[in-house]
Amino acid sequence: MKNLLTAVFLSLIATVSSAQTWVKVSYDTGSDMPTQQLDAVLRMPAESSANGQALLILHHGGGFSFNTTQQYGEFFSKRGFVTLELKMFNENRDEPSPLVTRGQMMGGLKHLSQIPGVKSVSAMGMSLGAFLTLDASTSWFYERYQAGPLKFHKLAALYPVCWFYSEAAKETGGDLRPFAGLPTDYFQRSAAIPLLILAAGRDSYDGMDAGACATFVKSIPDAKQAEMTQVEVLPNATHGWDHGRTYSFPVRGGCKGRTNCINNIVSNPDAVELGKRKLLEFFTR
């Protein structure tokens, strides 16, 4: 009996593992630009639980090697989603330009849209990945990367730096690194997509201002997009609450008001679980 149970257990492990596949995702950085490829982890749900939804998962600025996306890929694939975790770059020092990462995101949308049985594609991102999901709420994004009729169904941004986006909304963010190469007015026209912001109540980048993301939403130029944007604050969470480690590092000019600060990241398993529940509720309602 013991050997039989062991065999069943190993079989289950093999079944779960077989649902995870490394794939190549094609992308470009705009009209008439050459097609390139990046690696990504594709997870397929069990056929019996598939719900027709796909979720693109975008890592933070620490890079794919931080392995922060896996917990979300596993969580949502077990609940019927096809998930795709892009490996935009492996480590912080390898981060490409904003026009490249946004092109990679569009490549993810196009890749997931071609999978049989997928009826809608949503996206979620953390920090840098959250910048991408916020930018995917603009019509500029779909025009620049030639999306045609494609558009994300829903978008979720986890611990974005909201003071950055208050600047973008005012067209005064051109000197900020996340917007390098983007048109000054790119954030003025929206694509009218439901957007959830999960904000950290104790985010060092935003000066520990728990209301920073609500302030940003009030500044969104398109009133319809502002109405479709929901902010949920996790009051005791810091930036990077889901990194699985507690650490800190200095930030030069990237904190509220273009100041310097120490970004304190505290691992918070309770915030991780709460965030997952809020994301699942948002994507499935």
Q: What residue spans define the domains of the chain?
A: 20-242+270-284
Do the beta carbons of residue 127 and residue 206 sit within 8 Å? Answer: no
Residue 197: the pLDDT is 98
Q: How far apart are CA 110 and CA 25, in angstroms?
A: 9
Residue 92: the pLDDT is 84
Q: How far apart are CA 32 and CA 273, in angstroms?
A: 43
Helix (H) or strand (E) holding 260: strand 259-265
Residue 188: the pLDDT is 96
- Residue 193 tokens read as 């997509």
Specify the amino acid at residue 100. Answer: V
- For 143-170, what is each residue's pLDDT tens digit? 999 999 999 999 999 999 999 999 999 9
Q: Which residues contact 2 (CB under 8 A, 6 or more apart)?
A: none
Q: Which residues contact 224 (CB under 8 A, 6 or more apart)?
A: 190, 192
Residue 166: the pLDDT is 98
Residue 19: the pLDDT is 76
Residue 137: the pLDDT is 98
Residue 93: the pLDDT is 83
Q: Which residues contact 169 (CB under 8 A, 6 or more apart)?
A: 187, 216, 219, 220, 221
Residue 32: the pLDDT is 82
Phi-psi region of 226 (alpha: psi -120 to 50; beta: other; left: phi over 0): alpha
| Low-confidence residues in the chain, pLDDT < 70 | 1-18
- Residue 224 tokens read as 């319809």
Write down the architecture of domain 20-242+270-284 according to CATH: 3-Layer(aba) Sandwich (3.40)
Helix (H) or strand (E) holding 43: strand 36-43
pTM, two decimals, is 0.92
